[in-house]
Structure 1
Amino acid sequence: MIKEKIVKYFQQYPQLKILFFFDEKKEYEEELDKMELPNIYIVKYENNPFSIKWKLVDEFKDKKVFLYLPLPHPLTQEAYHKFPLLGLLIANKELQLDNVGSFMEEFGLQRHQKSLISKYIQELKYTGVQDVCRPILNASNFQVPAIQKGLLSAFLKFKTIESWPFLMAKLITLSPPEQEKELNRVVKKIKDLDMEELVCEKLKAVSGTTLNELSQENLKNVVRSIVYNKIMQTIDEVKTNDPYAKFKIKDLTQITQLNQMLHEVDRGPIKNDFNAVLDELSKEIKGSKLIEVYGESAPFAEYNTEMIWEVIKELQDQISSAPKVVAQKLEQISLQQQINPHVMQAMRFLIQVTKTHEAIQKNTTYILNKPEEYIQAYTELGYKVDQAYRKAIRLFKEIDTLEIPKNIHLEKINVDLNKAYDKHTDQLNREWLKCLNHFQFDYKNIQVPKQYDFYQTQVAHLDQKVVVIISDALRYEAAVELLSEMHGDTKNTAEIQYQLASIPSKTNIGMSQLLPGEKIFNSGEITIDGISSSGTENRSKILRLVNKESRAIQYSDLDGLSREELREIFKDTVVYVYHDIIDATGDKKPSERGAFRAVEETIQELKKFVKLLHGSYNVAKVIVTSDHGFLYNDIEIKEKDKEEIPVKENIQSHNRYFITEEKQNLDLAYSIPLSATTVFTDNVFVNIPYSVNRYKKQGVGHQFVHGGGSLQELIVPVIESARKREKVSKKVRPMLLNRNRLKIVSNILKVNLLQETEVSRFEKECTLKLGLYIGNKLVSKLETLLLNFTAEAPSDRMTRTELVLAAEAAGEPFLKLKIFDEEDMLNPLIEERIQNDTLIQQDF
C-alpha cells in the first residue's frame, strides 16, 4: 500500500524532489528495506542530519528521493523549529497515510491545526463539504468559528458559507412536520460535532428563546417568538393581559439581530419557505387578541394576517360613511412589504371602493347651469367615479372568497358599492339630460369640441404623418388611465382632450362622424359622399377622397404582418386603425360581464402599439379616440327594471334608444332630432331614456350598454401623442413621509416615500439611490428605488424600503439619510438627519 502512495505522490506533483516520511514506531522499515522504486531513490535518515542534508542538496539534487525518517513527527511548534531538515521539509512534501494528514497536505494547513482537523475530519473529508468550505481551507482562515459556520452551511445544503442569521433562518424552515426527516439529518450532524449548544445560542440571538436542545417543538417556539416580536418590537411596555408576553424580546441586541435576519431572508432564496413557516404559526399569535389588548391604534411594527382582517372587520362598516379615513388606514398597512396575497387582493378592492365613495361624495350638487359645466365637471373630476368603480369591480372578481374570513362582508360591501354607483349615475345623468333638453340637445349651441368635427379639427390641417386609432367603446376614464401608462415612456409627450359624441352613441354613427365627407343616415345604412361607411375598404375610399395617401385597416389585420409590410402601411400620410376589444366583449350578452377586463387589455395593448408606431415606424403623431363610451352596472338588471319601448313602429331600436320617423311625446324619454347631435340632415328622431334606464330587447345584454345620452356614453377621449428624439429631462421628485420623525430602530430605518406627482407628459420616471451616511461615508447598503408611478391618487404613488445600518456605525447617535437621483450622486435630492434610537435605548 505504501509503495502505491509514494508513486502516486510523485506522479501527482511532478516537480517534487523529496518526499518525507516519519515512522516513529518503525512499522514500515522492513517493507521499505525490500522495496524498489523505479527512478526514485530511497534514503534512510540515521541521525546524520549534516551528511544527509549534503547528499540531498548535492548528490541527489536532480533526483527524486523518498526520505525515510524513523523519528517522531515534530508536532509541537518547538519540535518543528528544531527539526534539522526544516528548510527542505517546507520546500517539499510529506507522505501522509491517514485522512488528517492527507487533508493537511492537500490544503497546506499547519501542524498546530492538526487537532482541529481531527475533530471535524469526519465531515471535512467529503468533497461537497470541501467545496462549500473552500474559502476557509487555508492556514490563515482555518479557525473554529469559521469551520463551524462553514460546516453548518454545508449541512443545510448551501453552496457557499452563509451568515449565522441566514443559517438560523434556514434551520427554522425545517420546523414543519413534513421536514422532520431533513431536520433529524441536520441535527444529528450538529450533535456529532458537538455544535448543538452553539446553534442553540445562535437561535437565541435572533429570537430571544432559550433552547436546551434542537427539536421541532423548540424550533416552533423560536418561530412563535419571531412572529410575536415582528409585530411587537416597537411596543416597549408589555401588558399583563397579553397572553404571549413570554415571547417578548427585551434585549435590544437580539431585536437588532432578528431584524438583520429578516432583512437577509427577504433578499434571499429561502424567502418563500421561511415566510410560509411564519404564516403557519402566526395563526397561534392571535392578531385579534393583540388588537384587543393594545388597541387598533397601537404603534405595532407590522400587522400579521389576522390583525389585518381584524382591522378590516372594524373598518368595513365605515367604508361609505368615512371612506377617506378607511383608505388612509388600509394604505398605511399596505405599505408593509410582506402581506398575504389573498389579504392584499381584498385590501386593494376595499381601497378602490373607498375611492369610489369618496369621488361620489365630492359631487356636492348634480344641478349645474349649462352643458359645458357638466362636461367640464366630468372631465376634471367626475370620471374618477367610473374609473374607481371599474377597478373595484375588477378586483372583486379576482378575490378568492374561500380565503376570506366569514366576518368580513365583502359581498355586502360590493352590493352597497353597486347601489351607490347606480344612484350616482342615475342622478348625474338625469340632471345632465334635463340640462341638454333645456338647450334642445342642439350641439351647435354647446361650446365644446364635437365628434363630427374631428377630421377637420384634428387631422386635415396636419402636415405630418398621423395614425388615428379608433378604439371601439374606449370611454374617457379608461383613456385617462391609458394616457398615464403612455407617460411611462420617457420620450412620450401625450396629452388628452375630449369631444362630444353623437346621439345615439352607437358604433356606426360614431365611426361615420370621425370620417370626412358629406354624410347621409339613410335609415342606418350610412353613406359618406355616396360610399357606404361600413368596412375598412369603404373607409379607405372615403379617406382617399380627401387625401390620396390614406388608408383604413383593422388592428387585428396587422397581426402576423412582417416588419416590412407594417412599415409600408404606415408610410401613408393618414392611417385609420380600428381597434375593437371593449365593444366586442361587452356588446354580447354571454361576455358582457368581461367588459372591465377588456378595458384593461385595451389599455395595455394600445400603450404598446402607440410606442411601436413612434419608435419603429417613424409616425410623428398618433391620435387615440373612440366612437362612443358605455355604461356598465355589475349587478344584473332585472326584467322588472327594464322599460318597454313605447313605440312599436320604429326605424331602429336597441337597449338604450329607438329611432322614429316622427317626434314622440313620451313621459320617460326624450325625442331628439337626429340632426341636432350629428351632421345628418335626415328628418328622423332619436328617443332615449331620461337617465340610465334600459329598454327591453331580446337577445342582447343590459349590463354593458351604449346608444343613449349619458356622460359616460357621450364624453369620448382624444389623446394626441408625439415622441421627442431626446428623453424629457424633467423627472418626478420624491417626498419623504414622516419627515422629522424618522428614527433608526434596531439598526433598521424604514423609509416611506411619496412620488410627488404622477409621471406625465412633462415629468418622467426617476431612479433613486438611498443610503445612510456618516459625513460622506456610506454606512448601509445603497438601495435602489424606481419612481415611475402613473396613478393620479397620491396613495397609489407610495413606496417603501428598509436601510440596515452597518455594525461599525451602530454607536453613532445621529446619521444622514441621503436620497440621490442615480444620475447625480453628488447632490442629494433629500438629506435628512436621522436619530439612532438603537443607541439611545441601549444607553438606558
Structure 2
Amino acid sequence: MDELNLQEIEKKLNTEYQSGQRMVFWYDAESSFEDEVDQLNLPGVQIVHLSEKNAFRIKMLLEHEEPDSRFLIYAPFEKPDVSKNHLEDTLLYSREFYADKLSLIAAEVRLPARLRSSFEGLKDFFNAGKTKLTVAQKKAGNERINAFVERSHDFDMTSADEDLVMLIAMSVVAKARNTTVDDLFYAVFSAGSIEQQEIIAELSKFGLEEAFWKLADSRFGYDDPKPSLLKLVMSLFVVYTFHDDLEIAPKEWKIFMQDRMKRQASNVTVLLENMMNNVIYQECFDELSDLVSEKLSVSKVLSMIPMEALVKTGSFKVIDHAIMTWMIERILAEDKNASLSGYSITDLCGIREKLHFHSSFKAEYTAIRAARKMLDATGFTVEDHLKDQINSYVSKNYRIDTEYRHFIAAYDQIENTTPFEKVRELIQNIYTTEYLEKAIFAWSTAFEKNELQEIIPMQRHFYADEVRPIKEKVVVIISDAFRFEAAKELEEVFAEDQNCSVKMKVKMGTLPAVTTVGMAELLPHKEIEMAEDDSHKILIDGKLCATTVQREQILQSANPNSAAIDFDSINGMKTSELRSFTSGKEVIYVYHNRIDATGEALKTENSVFKAVDEAISEIFKLVKKLSKSGNVYRFLITADHGFIYTRRPLEATDKLDTEAGKEGFADRRFIISKSNLSRLGIYAVRLSAALNSKDDRYINLAKGMSVFKCGGGMNYVHGGSSPQELLVPTLYVKTQRGVVDTEDATINLITEIRKVTNLRLSLDFYQEKPVSDLVKAATYRIHFVSSEGEIISNDVIYKVDSKSDKARERIGSLKFDIKKKNYDNSLRYFLKVINDKTNVEVLSRQVIMDLPFTDDFGFGV
C-alpha cells in the first residue's frame, strides 16, 4: 500500500458517497489535513468544518436545514467521548471516515472498532510511525501490508479477536504458507538457525515476539520466563517422544515436560506428525530431530528407557539405531524366537519401516530382515535323491539363495557397515557351511548316481516343447545367468501387474553350465557338439551359433519368420522402429546379458547381486514396452545357466589342481578332458550324455563348492553341477491387449464412532480385499477435519498392501491425536479418508466433538 495522499482519500470518500452515504464524519486527531480538506474534489458534497463550539449549528444544518444534502463533516481534533459528543446520535446513521494509514488498512480488512487498539501496536509492522523511511523500508512495508490484507480475506474479520490479528501479522513476517498456528510454527522452525533465532528478532522488531510466545503457551503449554526456540523445540520433541506414556520419560528430561505441556500433548503430536508427513517440511523436521538428539544426548538418555516403550516411536534416528542394535544382538545369538513387546524381528522391521526415518535405514532393515530369515537355514538337511532335492529347491530352498542375495545387496548399500560386520560373517558362514556345502555336495552325489537321467524336462527340449507349439507371435527373452531364485522374484513382479498373467516352470540345464552350451540348447537343433580343437566352439547341426547373427540364421532355418536381437538394440528402439521390427515376425529371441557380464569380470563380480536387481527391472520393463508398443503379448523368459556366488574369500582347500592336460581345457567348475579324472572332490560324466552326442570325452566336475585353479574371479562361478547352476527357470507371461480394469485396495472403518470424547483415540480399519493382480496396494491419508477445512488431528499415513486371504490379518489399528482447543458447536466435524495418490476423498464420517473445555485462549485457527 502506497503512502496516503489526497487522491487516495478523495477516492475512498467518493466511494462512500456513491454507495449511498449522505453524511461522513472525519475526525483528524492530528489535524493533518486541515489545510487540504477543502481541496478535495467531492461532486455534490458540502465540506463543513466542525469545531468544539459549532456542533449544534452543524446538527441543525444536517438534520433540519438541508436534510437531503450530502456532507463531509471534517473535525481537526480527536473524536470526543460519547458523553460530550453532541453529534453522537447523528453518527449512528452516518459513516465515520479514517484517513490515517492504520485506519485505512483496518477499513480494508473490515476490522471492527473494538480491535483498533491491536492495530495501534502494529505501527512498525505497517510502517505507520512518523519515522522517515528509506525506499527499501517503504517497499518492504508495503509488501507486509499487502500480504496482511490478502491473508485477512480468508477470515471473517468482523468477528475476529486480537489473537487472530496477531496470528496474521506473525504469519506474514515468518512467511508461513497458510495462516494457521501450525503453519506459523513450521515457518518459524524453517527460518534459519534455531539457536541464533533470527526469526524471533524479526518478530520482535515488529512488536510480535510477546504474541508469539503467548501462542506457544496457549497451543502447546510452553511457558518459560526466558523462552527460546531451542528450548521450545526440545520440549516439543520430548513430549512427543513419550506422548503414549508421559510418566516413563527419563528424569533428565522432566524439565522439558511442564504440566501444561503434558496437557497439550495431543497438540504437540499433531504438530510434529503433520510436519514429518509434509513433504515441504520433512527436511526441517529431520534437522530439528538431529539438533535435539545432540542437545539432549538422546542416545545416552534413552538407553535407560525400556526398549519396549520405543518400538513405535519415530522421533529420533537414534531410536532406530537402538532397536537395530538389539535385533543385531539377537541375530548374532542366533535367537530365532527373539521378540520385543511381542513383535518378532521381522515384525519389528515392518513397524520401523512405516515410521518417519525408514528411508534413512532402508538398507539396514532389509539386511536385518534377510539375516533373520537366513537363521532358518541353520541345521539345514538335504534329501538323498535328486528328484526330492529338485522338488525341495523349487518349492522352498531357493529362498535361502534369495535372502542371501538380499542381505549382501543391502549390506553393500549401508554407509556404516561396522555394526553389521559380525552379522555378515555369521550369514556368510550359515550360507556356505550350513547350506551351500551340504546342498551342493548332496546334489553332486545324487547327480553322479543319476547318470543324467531325465527327472524334469531338459533344457535341450526348450524350442520343441515351448516355442514351436505357440501359434502366435512370441518373444523369448534369454537372460544370461538369470538363475531360478531371481526368476521367482520376477514372477512376483508380473503377478502384481494388472495386465499380466504368469506361471513358472523349471528345466534341467545342460553340462557344462556355460553360456556357449546353454544358449545353443535353447535354439532349434537335432545335434549339438563341442569342437575338439583349441576353440571348443559349440556347433548346432554343424553350424556355429556364437553370435546373434548366427543364432538368427539357425532360428530362421526352423521358422523363416524369426529374428534374434540383443537387449540393448531392441530396448533402444523408438515405437515406430519397434513396430516395424516385430511386424511379420513369429519368433523373436532377445539376448540379455546384465548378470553374467557383471559377474564374469573380476573388477565387478561383487556387484553381481545388484546386477540381478537390474536384470529383473530391465526384463519387466522390456515386456511392458513390447506389449504396449510392439504388439507382442506372449513371452517366454529363461536363462542359459545359473551361478553360484558367495562373498567369502576362497581358502586354499577350496581350490582344486587343474589336470586337463594339453588336449583338454579347464574352467573354474569343470574340466573337459579325454580322461576320467575322478578322485576325491572330483567326479565325471560323459560329454556325450550331457550333449546327447557321440563325443567320448568327459566332463570332470568339482564335487561340492570347490573350484579349479584357473583365471578369472572365484566368487562368481558357474559351469558345474548344483541346483543354483543347473535348475533353469522358464517364465510364461501373457499380457493383455488394452488395459484390464483394476482398483485400489479399499478400506472401511470398523470402529463405531459418532462422538469424540478424548484427545487420543484408536480406530480400526479393514482392508476389504487382499492385494492381487486386480487389486492394487494404495496409500491413504486419514485425519479429522472441520467443515471449514481446518485439520484438527495428526495426518495418519496408512499403506494398504496386505495380500492375506485372512480377514483378521487385514485389520489395522491407527492412533489419532486431536487438537486441544474449544470446538465450535456451529461447525460440523468429520473423519476423512483420502487416497494419497489421487487426492480423492473415499470415506467421510461425521462426528460430534464432545470434549471438555480445553482453555484454548481463542486460538482456534
TM over 0.5: yes
**Do residues 395 (structure 1) and 417 (structure 2) align?**
no
Partners of 1:608 and 1:80 lie apart in 2 by 87
Q: CA deviation at 1:397?
A: 1.1
| Counterpart-to-counterpart distance in 1, 2:240 and 2:693 | 69
Shift in Å, 1:364? 4.6
The 8 Å contact of residues 670 and 701 in structure 2, kept in 1 or not, is answered as yes
Q: How many angstroms apart in 2 are the aligned matches of 1:818 and 1:177?
A: 34
Out of 412, 421, 424, which is 1:414 matched to? 424
What is aligned with 1:115? 117
- Decide whether the 8 Å contact of 1:353 with 1:392 is kept in 2: yes
User: Quick check: 1:451 aligned with 2:459?
Assistant: yes
Q: Classify 1:749/1:580 alpha carbon distance in 2 versus 1 (closer, same or farther; 3 Å).
A: same
Match of 1:552 in 2: 564
Work out whether residues 494 and 500 of structure 2, in 8 Å CA contact, stay in contact via their aligned partners in 1.
yes
Tell me how far 1:646 sits from its aligned partner: 2.6
- Find the partner of 1:365 among 370, 381, 387: 381
The 1:826–1:154 alpha-carbon spacing in structure 2 relative to 1, beyond 3 Å, is closer
Matched residue, 2:269 = 259
- Say whether 1:715 aligns with 2:712: no
Gaps of 5+ in 2: 19-23, 51-56, 128-140, 339-343, 786-790, 856-861
The residue number in structure 1 matching 2:136 is none
* Shift in Å, 1:75: 7.2
2:371 maps to 1:356: no
State the aligned residue count: 794
The more displaced of 74-83 and 316-325 is 74-83
Q: How much has 1:386 moved relative to structure 2?
A: 0.9
Pairwise mapping of residues 123-272 of structure 1 onto structure 2 (< 5 A)? 123-125=125-127, 126-133=141-148, 134-136=150-152, 139-161=157-179, 163-172=180-189, 176=193, 179-189=196-206, 192-193=207-208, 195-196=209-210, 198-204=211-217, 208-215=221-228, 219-235=229-245, 237-238=247-248, 242-248=251-257, 253-268=263-278, 269-272=280-283
In structure 2, the residue corresponding to 1:494 is in which secondary structure? strand
Q: How does 1:764-779 map to 2 (within 5 A)?
A: 764-767=775-778
User: Can you list the C-alpha shifts for 1:16-67, whole angstroms capped at 9, x where unaligned?
Assistant: 658864457877556667x59698876335734565679989788xxxxx83
Query: Is the 1:235–1:300 contact (alpha carbons within 8 Å) kept by the matching residues of 2?
Result: no
Distance in 2 separating the partners of 1:181 and 1:25: 36
Displacement of 1:477 in angstroms is 1.1
1:647 corresponds in structure 2 to 660
AA paired with 1:473? A
Determine if the alignment matches structure 1 residue 483 to structure 2 residue 491. yes
How well do the aligned residues superpose, as a CA RMSD in angstroms? Answer: 4.6
Determine the C-alpha separation between the residues in 2 that align with 1:697 and 1:343. 40
**Are the aligned partners of 1:519 and 1:526 in contact in 2 as well (CA < 8 Å)?**
no
Measured after TM superposition, the shift of residue 70 of structure 1 is 3.9
What CA distance in whole angstroms lies between the structure 1 residues aligned with 2:245 and 2:488? 44
Residues 369 and 617 of structure 1, relative CA distance in 2, 3 Å threshold: same
Q: Deviation digits for residues 277-314 of structure 1, max 9, x if unmatched?
A: 22222235455655654433346651643343334334
- Does the 8 A contact of 1:22 with 1:70 survive in 2? yes
| 1:6 equivalent in alignment to 2:6 | yes
Q: Using a 3 Å threshold, how does the CA distance of structure 1 residues 663 and 346 change in structure 2: closer, same or farther? A: same
C-alpha contact 2:384 2:442 (8 A) present in aligned 1: no
Q: Residues 476 and 635 of structure 2 are in contact (CA less than 8 Å); yes or no, is this contact kept in structure 1?
A: yes
The answer as to whether partners of 1:233 and 1:300 remain within 8 angstroms in 2 is no
What does residue 574 of structure 1 align with? 587
Query: Is 1:663 the equivalent of 2:676?
Result: yes
Residue 443 (structure 1) shift: 3.4
* Aligned residue in 2 for 1:437: 448
Match of 2:349 among 309, 312, 331: 331
- Classify the secondary structure of the residue corresponding to 1:297: helix
After superposition, the C-alpha distances for 1:433-491 in whole angstroms (9 at most, x for unaligned) are: 11111212x133x2x12211111111111111111100111111111111222233212
Q: Does 2:356 align with 1:319?
A: no
Is the CA contact (8 Å cut-off) linking 1:747 and 1:810 kept in structure 2?
no
Aligned to 1:697: 710
Structure 2 residue aligned with 1:43? 47
Asked if the contact 1:76/1:112 (under 8 Å) is kept, the reply is: no
1:560 to 1:278, Cα distance in 2 relative to 1, 3 A:
closer
* 2:698 equivalent among 685, 697, 700: 685
Specify the code of the residue in structure 2 equivalent to 1:69.
Y
Matched residues in 2 for 1:730 and 1:42: separation?
A: 73
Identity rate of aligned residues, in percent?
20
- C-alpha distance after superposition, 1:493-518 (max 9, x if no partner): 12222111111110011111111122
Q: Secondary structure at the match of 1:115?
A: helix
Q: For residue 108 of structure 1, report the CA deviation from its aligned partner.
A: 4.2
Equivalent position SS for 1:553: strand
Per-residue deviation at 1:701?
A: 1.0
Q: Point out where structure 1 has 5 or more consecutive residues left out of the alignment.
A: 61-65
Q: Does 1:465 align with 2:459?
A: no
Going from structure 1 to structure 2, the CA distance change for 1:36 and 1:418 (only over 3 Å counts) comes to closer
Which stretch of the first structure deviates more once superposed, 409-418 or 246-255? 246-255
CA distance in 1 between counterparts of 2:775 and 2:272 reads 34
- Which of 488, 496, 508 aligns to 2:504? It is 496
Q: Secondary structure at the match of 1:496?
A: strand
Letter in 2 for 1:767: A
Contact 1:209 1:221 in 2 (8 A): no
Q: Aligned with 1:121: secondary structure?
A: coil
Amino acid at match of 2:673: T
Task: Provide the rounded CA distance (Å) in 2 between the counterparts of 1:716 and 1:466.
Answer: 19
- In 1, the alpha carbon distance for the partners of 2:748 and 2:676 equals 59
- Change over 3 Å in CA distance of 1:322–1:733 after alignment to 2: farther
CA contact (8 A) 1:394 1:596 kept: yes
1:409 alignment partner, SS class: helix
Give 1:81 shift: 8.3
Render the CA deviation track for 1:526-552: whole Å, top value 9, x for unaligned.
222333112111211111122221111
Question: Is residue 2:562 matched to residue 1:532?
Answer: no
Farther off after superposition, 312-321 or 287-296: 287-296
Shift of 1:236: 5.1
CA apart distance, 1:183: 3.8
Q: Which moved more, 1:368-377 or 1:167-176?
A: 167-176
Amino acid at match of 1:43: I
Work out the CA distance in 2 between the residues paired with 1:324 and 1:131: 64
Query: Is 2:521 the partner of 1:513?
Result: yes
| Contact kept? 1:209, 1:247, Cα under 8 Å | no
Provide closer, same or farther for how the CA distance between residues 247 and 821 of structure 1 changes in structure 2, counting only shifts above 3 A.
closer
TM-score with structure 1 setting the length:
0.82
Residue 5 (structure 1) shift:
3.3
Asked if the contact 2:512/2:670 (under 8 Å) is kept, the reply is yes
SS in 2 for 1:67: strand
Q: Bigger CA drift: 316-325 or 763-772?
A: 763-772
